[in-house]
Protein backbone atom coordinates (compact mmCIF):
# COMPACT_ATOMS: atom_id res chain seq x y z
CA UNK A 1 0.00 0.00 0.00
CA UNK A 2 1.34 3.41 -0.94
CA UNK A 3 1.97 6.12 1.63
CA UNK A 4 -1.29 7.73 2.73
CA UNK A 5 -2.09 11.09 1.17
CA UNK A 6 -4.24 12.08 4.14
CA UNK A 7 -3.71 10.81 7.62
CA UNK A 8 -5.74 11.71 10.68
CA UNK A 9 -3.96 10.58 13.79
CA UNK A 10 -5.46 10.43 17.28
CA UNK A 11 -7.57 13.54 16.79
CA UNK A 12 -9.45 15.01 19.77
CA UNK A 13 -11.67 18.02 19.17
CA UNK A 14 -13.87 19.83 21.66
CA UNK A 15 -16.52 22.51 21.33
CA UNK A 16 -16.61 25.03 24.15
CA UNK A 17 -20.24 25.52 25.21
CA UNK A 18 -21.97 27.24 28.10
CA UNK A 19 -22.38 23.98 29.98
CA UNK A 20 -18.90 22.60 29.33
CA UNK A 21 -16.77 21.14 26.59
CA UNK A 22 -18.50 18.85 24.14
CA UNK A 23 -16.12 16.06 23.19
CA UNK A 24 -17.12 16.06 19.53
CA UNK A 25 -14.17 13.97 18.29
CA UNK A 26 -12.26 11.47 20.41
CA UNK A 27 -9.20 9.55 19.28
CA UNK A 28 -10.15 9.64 15.61
CA UNK A 29 -7.53 7.98 13.43
CA UNK A 30 -7.91 7.18 9.79
CA UNK A 31 -5.79 7.27 6.70
CA UNK A 32 -6.63 7.62 3.05
CA UNK A 33 -4.40 6.29 0.28
CA UNK A 34 -4.08 8.13 -3.04
CA UNK A 35 -7.02 7.42 -5.31
CA UNK A 36 -8.93 5.50 -2.65
CA UNK A 37 -12.61 5.90 -1.68
CA UNK A 38 -13.43 5.94 2.00
CA UNK A 39 -16.93 6.35 3.39
CA UNK A 40 -17.65 7.69 6.87
CA UNK A 41 -21.07 6.70 8.10
CA UNK A 42 -22.96 7.46 11.29
CA UNK A 43 -26.18 9.02 12.47
CA UNK A 44 -26.69 12.76 12.55
CA UNK A 45 -24.67 14.46 15.29
CA UNK A 46 -21.92 11.83 15.47
CA UNK A 47 -19.28 14.33 14.33
CA UNK A 48 -18.93 13.67 10.60
CA UNK A 49 -19.11 17.32 9.54
CA UNK A 50 -16.92 18.29 12.47
CA UNK A 51 -14.26 15.88 11.24
CA UNK A 52 -14.32 17.21 7.68
CA UNK A 53 -14.22 20.82 8.85
CA UNK A 54 -11.27 19.97 11.06
CA UNK A 55 -9.48 18.46 8.07
CA UNK A 56 -10.17 21.63 6.08
CA UNK A 57 -9.08 23.75 9.02
CA UNK A 58 -12.30 25.79 9.09
CA UNK A 59 -13.67 24.94 12.51
CA UNK A 60 -16.10 27.38 14.17
CA UNK A 61 -14.45 29.72 16.69
CA UNK A 62 -15.55 27.68 19.73
CA UNK A 63 -13.87 24.53 18.44
CA UNK A 64 -10.39 23.50 19.54
CA UNK A 65 -8.18 20.66 18.39
CA UNK A 66 -6.98 19.30 21.71
CA UNK A 67 -4.71 16.56 20.49
CA UNK A 68 -3.63 14.73 17.39
CA UNK A 69 -2.38 15.42 13.91
CA UNK A 70 -3.84 15.89 10.46
CA UNK A 71 -1.17 15.01 7.95
CA UNK A 72 -1.37 15.85 4.27
CA UNK A 73 1.46 14.24 2.27
CA UNK A 74 3.22 13.67 5.56
CA UNK A 75 3.05 17.29 6.81
CA UNK A 76 1.05 17.92 9.98
CA UNK A 77 -1.30 20.79 9.14
CA UNK A 78 -2.24 21.43 12.76
CA UNK A 79 1.40 22.09 13.60
CA UNK A 80 2.16 23.88 10.32
CA UNK A 81 -0.01 26.86 11.22
CA UNK A 82 -2.93 28.70 9.62
CA UNK A 83 -1.18 30.01 6.53
CA UNK A 84 0.32 26.69 5.48
CA UNK A 85 -3.07 25.12 6.12
CA UNK A 86 -4.80 27.76 4.01
CA UNK A 87 -2.52 26.98 1.07
CA UNK A 88 -3.39 23.27 1.24
CA UNK A 89 -7.13 24.01 1.26
CA UNK A 90 -8.67 23.51 -2.15
CA UNK A 91 -5.36 22.93 -3.93
CA UNK A 92 -4.58 19.82 -1.85
CA UNK A 93 -7.89 18.99 -0.19
CA UNK A 94 -11.11 20.30 -1.66
CA UNK A 95 -14.65 19.75 -0.46
CA UNK A 96 -18.11 19.37 -1.89
CA UNK A 97 -20.32 21.06 0.64
CA UNK A 98 -23.49 19.65 2.11
CA UNK A 99 -26.03 22.08 0.72
CA UNK A 100 -25.49 23.31 -2.80
CA UNK A 101 -28.17 25.93 -2.32
CA UNK A 102 -26.48 27.64 0.61
CA UNK A 103 -22.87 26.95 -0.26
CA UNK A 104 -22.87 29.14 -3.35
CA UNK A 105 -22.89 32.86 -2.75
CA UNK A 106 -26.26 33.97 -4.16
CA UNK A 107 -25.09 37.36 -5.38
CA UNK A 108 -21.97 36.31 -7.26
CA UNK A 109 -21.63 34.76 -10.65
CA UNK A 110 -20.59 31.13 -10.54
CA UNK A 111 -17.54 31.89 -12.69
CA UNK A 112 -16.41 34.52 -10.19
CA UNK A 113 -16.77 32.06 -7.34
CA UNK A 114 -14.67 29.44 -9.10
CA UNK A 115 -12.08 31.87 -10.34
CA UNK A 116 -11.48 33.32 -6.88
CA UNK A 117 -10.69 29.80 -5.67
CA UNK A 118 -8.17 29.41 -8.49
CA UNK A 119 -6.66 32.83 -7.95
CA UNK A 120 -6.16 32.16 -4.25
CA UNK A 121 -3.63 29.50 -5.20
CA UNK A 122 -2.40 30.08 -8.74
CA UNK A 123 -1.34 33.12 -10.70
CA UNK A 124 -3.09 32.36 -13.98
CA UNK A 125 -4.08 34.82 -16.69
CA UNK A 126 -7.80 35.56 -17.01
CA UNK A 127 -8.21 33.61 -20.25
CA UNK A 128 -6.67 30.51 -18.80
CA UNK A 129 -8.97 30.70 -15.78
CA UNK A 130 -12.07 31.05 -17.94
CA UNK A 131 -10.96 28.21 -20.19
CA UNK A 132 -10.43 26.06 -17.12
CA UNK A 133 -13.89 26.87 -15.76
CA UNK A 134 -15.47 25.95 -19.09
CA UNK A 135 -13.51 22.73 -19.13
CA UNK A 136 -14.69 21.97 -15.58
CA UNK A 137 -18.33 22.56 -16.54
CA UNK A 138 -17.89 20.21 -19.47
CA UNK A 139 -16.42 17.59 -17.15
CA UNK A 140 -19.32 17.63 -14.71
CA UNK A 141 -21.93 17.84 -17.44
CA UNK A 142 -23.12 21.43 -17.26
CA UNK A 143 -23.36 23.64 -20.35
CA UNK A 144 -20.09 25.65 -20.43
CA UNK A 145 -22.03 28.62 -21.82
CA UNK A 146 -23.56 29.04 -18.38
CA UNK A 147 -20.45 29.77 -16.37
CA UNK A 148 -21.50 33.39 -15.92
CA UNK A 149 -24.94 32.54 -14.52
CA UNK A 150 -25.93 33.17 -10.95
CA UNK A 151 -26.55 30.22 -8.58
CA UNK A 152 -30.33 30.73 -8.52
CA UNK A 153 -30.47 30.17 -12.26
CA UNK A 154 -29.49 26.51 -11.85
CA UNK A 155 -31.60 23.57 -10.67
CA UNK A 156 -30.61 21.74 -7.48
CA UNK A 157 -28.79 18.96 -9.29
CA UNK A 158 -26.99 21.42 -11.56
CA UNK A 159 -25.88 23.45 -8.56
CA UNK A 160 -24.42 20.33 -7.01
CA UNK A 161 -22.53 19.71 -10.25
CA UNK A 162 -21.26 23.27 -10.18
CA UNK A 163 -19.99 22.64 -6.65
CA UNK A 164 -18.19 19.52 -7.87
CA UNK A 165 -16.67 21.52 -10.72
CA UNK A 166 -15.54 24.10 -8.22
CA UNK A 167 -13.98 21.42 -6.00
CA UNK A 168 -12.03 19.98 -8.92
CA UNK A 169 -10.77 23.36 -10.13
CA UNK A 170 -7.20 22.87 -8.92
CA UNK A 171 -7.04 19.08 -9.43
CA UNK A 172 -6.87 18.33 -5.70
CA UNK A 173 -5.53 14.87 -4.80
CA UNK A 174 -8.13 14.60 -2.02
CA UNK A 175 -11.84 15.35 -2.32
CA UNK A 176 -14.09 15.50 0.72
CA UNK A 177 -17.86 15.27 0.31
CA UNK A 178 -20.26 16.02 3.16
CA UNK A 179 -23.64 14.43 2.41
CA UNK A 180 -23.39 15.90 -1.07
CA UNK A 181 -26.88 14.87 -2.18
CA UNK A 182 -29.14 15.12 0.88
CA UNK A 183 -31.24 17.85 -0.71
CA UNK A 184 -31.73 16.02 -4.01
CA UNK A 185 -34.18 13.38 -5.15
CA UNK A 186 -32.99 9.80 -5.56
CA UNK A 187 -32.64 9.89 -9.34
CA UNK A 188 -30.52 13.02 -9.36
CA UNK A 189 -28.54 11.65 -6.41
CA UNK A 190 -27.78 8.55 -8.48
CA UNK A 191 -26.62 10.60 -11.46
CA UNK A 192 -24.36 12.73 -9.28
CA UNK A 193 -22.70 9.72 -7.69
CA UNK A 194 -22.27 8.04 -11.04
CA UNK A 195 -20.43 11.03 -12.45
CA UNK A 196 -18.39 11.36 -9.26
CA UNK A 197 -17.20 7.75 -9.67
CA UNK A 198 -16.42 8.43 -13.32
CA UNK A 199 -14.45 11.57 -12.50
CA UNK A 200 -12.55 9.69 -9.84
CA UNK A 201 -11.50 7.04 -12.36
CA UNK A 202 -10.43 9.72 -14.80
CA UNK A 203 -8.66 12.06 -12.38
CA UNK A 204 -7.50 9.66 -9.69
CA UNK A 205 -8.31 11.76 -6.62
CA UNK A 206 -8.93 10.13 -3.27
CA UNK A 207 -12.48 10.52 -1.98
CA UNK A 208 -13.68 10.80 1.58
CA UNK A 209 -17.46 10.59 1.55
CA UNK A 210 -19.49 11.40 4.62
CA UNK A 211 -23.10 10.29 4.92
CA UNK A 212 -25.69 8.87 7.28
CA UNK A 213 -26.71 6.46 4.54
CA UNK A 214 -24.81 3.17 4.77
CA UNK A 215 -26.19 2.16 1.37
CA UNK A 216 -24.38 5.04 -0.35
CA UNK A 217 -21.10 4.02 1.24
CA UNK A 218 -21.52 0.41 0.20
CA UNK A 219 -22.14 1.54 -3.37
CA UNK A 220 -19.37 4.11 -3.57
CA UNK A 221 -16.51 3.23 -1.26
CA UNK A 222 -13.87 0.57 -0.87
CA UNK A 223 -13.55 1.20 2.81
CA UNK A 224 -16.07 1.98 5.53
CA UNK A 225 -15.49 3.97 8.70
CA UNK A 226 -18.36 3.86 11.20
CA UNK A 227 -18.59 6.71 13.68
CA UNK A 228 -20.62 6.87 16.85
CA UNK A 229 -20.66 9.73 19.34
CA UNK A 230 -17.46 11.32 18.06
CA UNK A 231 -15.48 8.08 17.89
CA UNK A 232 -14.64 5.58 15.21
CA UNK A 233 -16.28 2.34 16.32
CA UNK A 234 -15.49 0.20 13.33
CA UNK A 235 -13.42 0.51 10.17
CA UNK A 236 -12.50 -1.87 7.42
CA UNK A 237 -12.83 -2.91 3.81
CA UNK A 238 -16.46 -2.54 2.73
CA UNK A 239 -16.93 -6.18 1.78
CA UNK A 240 -15.61 -7.42 5.10
CA UNK A 241 -17.53 -5.00 7.23
CA UNK A 242 -20.77 -5.83 5.47
CA UNK A 243 -20.14 -9.56 5.53
CA UNK A 244 -19.18 -9.57 9.20
CA UNK A 245 -19.97 -6.39 11.11
CA UNK A 246 -18.00 -6.49 14.33
CA UNK A 247 -19.64 -3.67 16.28
CA UNK A 248 -23.27 -3.75 17.46
CA UNK A 249 -23.79 -0.20 16.15
CA UNK A 250 -22.69 -1.28 12.66
CA UNK A 251 -25.11 -4.20 12.94
CA UNK A 252 -27.82 -1.75 13.87
CA UNK A 253 -27.05 0.48 10.90
CA UNK A 254 -27.05 -2.53 8.64
CA UNK A 255 -30.43 -3.64 9.97
CA UNK A 256 -31.79 -0.19 9.32
CA UNK A 257 -31.01 -0.48 5.60
CA UNK A 258 -34.15 -0.93 3.52
CA UNK A 259 -33.56 -3.97 1.32
CA UNK A 260 -35.21 -4.52 -2.00
CA UNK A 261 -37.55 -7.51 -1.91
CA UNK A 262 -36.86 -8.29 1.73
CA UNK A 263 -39.78 -9.47 3.81
CA UNK A 264 -38.53 -7.87 7.01
CA UNK A 265 -39.03 -4.28 7.97
CA UNK A 266 -35.81 -2.35 8.58
CA UNK A 267 -35.02 -2.19 12.30
CA UNK A 268 -34.03 1.18 13.65
CA UNK A 269 -31.84 1.59 16.70
CA UNK A 270 -33.90 3.00 19.57
CA UNK A 271 -32.46 5.73 21.76
CA UNK A 272 -30.53 8.89 21.22
CA UNK A 273 -26.93 9.74 20.50
CA UNK A 274 -24.86 10.26 23.65
CA UNK A 275 -24.48 13.53 25.44
CA UNK A 276 -21.05 14.73 24.33
CA UNK A 277 -20.54 17.02 27.33
CA UNK A 278 -21.01 14.20 29.85
CA UNK A 279 -20.67 11.01 27.79
CA UNK A 280 -21.54 7.67 29.43
CA UNK A 281 -18.53 6.04 31.05
CA UNK A 282 -16.81 3.34 29.04
CA UNK A 283 -18.44 2.44 25.73
CA UNK A 284 -20.44 5.39 24.44
CA UNK A 285 -22.89 3.03 22.76
CA UNK A 286 -23.63 1.01 25.91
CA UNK A 287 -26.95 2.74 26.80
CA UNK A 288 -28.37 1.63 23.44
CA UNK A 289 -26.48 -1.60 22.98
CA UNK A 290 -28.49 -4.86 23.24
CA UNK A 291 -25.32 -6.77 24.09
CA UNK A 292 -24.00 -4.48 26.82
CA UNK A 293 -22.39 -6.10 29.87
CA UNK A 294 -20.84 -4.82 33.05
CA UNK A 295 -17.39 -4.54 31.51
CA UNK A 296 -18.83 -2.16 28.92
CA UNK A 297 -18.59 0.55 31.58
CA UNK A 298 -14.87 0.57 30.86
CA UNK A 299 -13.36 1.87 27.64
CA UNK A 300 -13.45 -0.86 25.00
CA UNK A 301 -10.16 -1.49 23.15
CA UNK A 302 -9.80 -1.21 19.39
CA UNK A 303 -9.62 -4.86 18.33
CA UNK A 304 -8.06 -6.00 15.07
CA UNK A 305 -10.29 -8.49 13.27
CA UNK A 306 -8.48 -8.86 9.99
CA UNK A 307 -6.25 -6.90 7.65
CA UNK A 308 -7.35 -3.30 7.97
CA UNK A 309 -10.53 -4.29 9.81
CA UNK A 310 -10.95 -3.26 13.44
CA UNK A 311 -13.75 -2.48 15.89
CA UNK A 312 -14.01 -0.78 19.26
CA UNK A 313 -16.11 -3.24 21.27
CA UNK A 314 -15.49 -5.57 24.20
CA UNK A 315 -17.45 -8.32 22.52
CA UNK A 316 -16.36 -8.01 18.92
CA UNK A 317 -14.67 -11.40 19.04
CA UNK A 318 -18.00 -13.01 20.00
CA UNK A 319 -19.84 -11.19 17.24
CA UNK A 320 -20.26 -14.29 15.07
CA UNK A 321 -22.43 -15.73 17.82
CA UNK A 322 -24.32 -12.49 18.49
CA UNK A 323 -25.14 -11.56 14.87
CA UNK A 324 -28.21 -13.80 14.46
CA UNK A 325 -29.77 -12.22 17.53
CA UNK A 326 -29.10 -8.77 16.12
CA UNK A 327 -31.25 -9.59 13.11
CA UNK A 328 -34.33 -10.00 15.31
CA UNK A 329 -36.29 -6.86 16.10
CA UNK A 330 -36.99 -8.06 19.69
CA UNK A 331 -33.30 -7.91 20.45
CA UNK A 332 -33.32 -4.15 19.99
CA UNK A 333 -36.60 -3.56 21.81
CA UNK A 334 -35.87 -5.76 24.78
CA UNK A 335 -33.15 -3.63 26.22
CA UNK A 336 -35.20 -0.57 26.96
CA UNK A 337 -34.73 -1.19 30.66
CA UNK A 338 -30.97 -1.04 30.39
CA UNK A 339 -31.13 1.90 28.03
CA UNK A 340 -33.29 3.83 30.45
CA UNK A 341 -31.20 2.93 33.42
CA UNK A 342 -28.03 4.21 31.82
CA UNK A 343 -29.51 7.14 30.03
CA UNK A 344 -32.36 8.80 31.90
CA UNK A 345 -32.87 11.15 28.95
CA UNK A 346 -34.52 8.42 26.94
CA UNK A 347 -37.31 7.76 29.46
CA UNK A 348 -40.01 9.43 27.45
CA UNK A 349 -39.32 7.11 24.55
CA UNK A 350 -42.25 4.88 23.67
Ligand X SMILES: Nc1ncnc2c1ncn2[C@@H]1O[C@H](COP(=O)(O)OP(=O)(O)O)[C@@H](O)[C@H]1O
Which positions from 111 through 140 interact with another protein, judged by CB under 8 A? Answer: 116-117, 120-121
Helical residues (DSSP H) of the chain, grouped into ranges: 48-56, 77-80, 82-88, 100-103, 110-119, 126-140, 156-168, 186-203, 214-220, 238-243, 248-255, 319-326, 329-334, 336-342
Q: Name the one range near ligand SF4 by CB under 6 A: 6-14, 28-36, 235-243, 279-287.
A: 279-287
Output the smallest distance, CB 111 to another protein, in A: 13
Name which position in 21, 29, 31, 49 contacts ligand X (CB under 6 A): 49
Nearest Cα residue to 211 out of 174, 245, 184: 184
Phi, psi for residue 20 in degrees, rounded to 5? 135, -175
333 exposure class (CB count in 10 Å sphere: 0-12, 13-18, 19+): exposed
Q: Name the one range near another protein by CB under 8 A: 87-95, 154-162, 225-233, 338-346.
A: 87-95
Q: Are 52 and 68 in contact (CB under 8 A)?
A: no
Is residue 8 involved in binding another protein (CB under 8 A)? no
Phi, psi for residue 64 in degrees, rounded to 5? -140, 130
Q: Which is nearer to ligand SF4, 133 or 246 (CB)?
A: 246
Q: Name the one range near another protein by CB under 8 A: 32-40, 93-101, 273-281, 294-302.
A: 93-101
Half-sphere exposure of residue 45, counting CA atoms within 13 Å on the CB side?
A: 8
Q: Counting every residue, how long is the chain?
A: 350
**174/189 Cα distance (integer angstroms):** 21
Name which position in 236, 314, 319, 343 contacts ligand SF4 (CB under 6 A): 314
223-228/231-237 β-pairing: antiparallel
Our measurement of the distance from residue 250's CA atom to the centroid of its chain's CA atoms, rounded to an integer in Å, reads 15
Question: What does 49 bind: ligand SF4, Mg ion, another protein, none (CB cut-off 5 to 8 Å by kind)?
Answer: Mg ion
**38/232 Cα distance (integer angstroms):** 13
Q: Which is nearer to ligand SF4, 176 or 246 (CB)?
A: 246
Q: Which is nearer to Mg ion, 173 or 229 (CB)?
A: 229
Question: What does 300 bind: ligand SF4, ligand X, another protein, none (CB cut-off 5 to 8 Å by kind)?
Answer: ligand SF4
Output the smallest distance, CB 9 to ligand X, in A: 19
Output the smallest distance, CB 232 to ligand X, in A: 13
Q: Are 247 and 240 in contact (CB under 8 A)?
A: no
Name which position in 15, 48, 71, 90 contacts another protein (CB under 8 A): 90
Q: Which is nearer to ligand SF4, 8 or 289 (CB)?
A: 289
**247/233 Cα distance (integer angstroms):** 7
Output the smallest distance, CB 122 to ligand X, in A: 31
Residues at the contact surface with Mg ion, assessed by CB under 5 A: 49
Residues at the contact surface with ligand SF4, assessed by CB under 6 A: 247-248, 283, 285-286, 289, 291-292, 296, 300, 313-315
Residues at the contact surface with another protein, assessed by CB under 8 A: 53, 56, 58, 86-91, 94-95, 97-99, 102-109, 116-117, 120-121, 150, 152, 166
Residues at the contact surface with ligand X, assessed by CB under 6 A: 15, 17, 22, 24, 42, 44-50, 60, 62, 276
Amino acid sequence: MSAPILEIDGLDLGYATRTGTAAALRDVSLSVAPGESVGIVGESGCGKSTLLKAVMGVMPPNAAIERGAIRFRGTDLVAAGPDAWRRVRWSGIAMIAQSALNALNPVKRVSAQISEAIRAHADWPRDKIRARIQELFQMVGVDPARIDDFPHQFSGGMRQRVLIAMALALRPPVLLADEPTTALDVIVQDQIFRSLRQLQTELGFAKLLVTHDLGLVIENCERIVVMYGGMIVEAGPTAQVIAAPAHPYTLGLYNALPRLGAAVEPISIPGRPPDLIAPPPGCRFAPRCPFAQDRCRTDPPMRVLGPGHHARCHRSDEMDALRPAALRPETWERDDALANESNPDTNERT
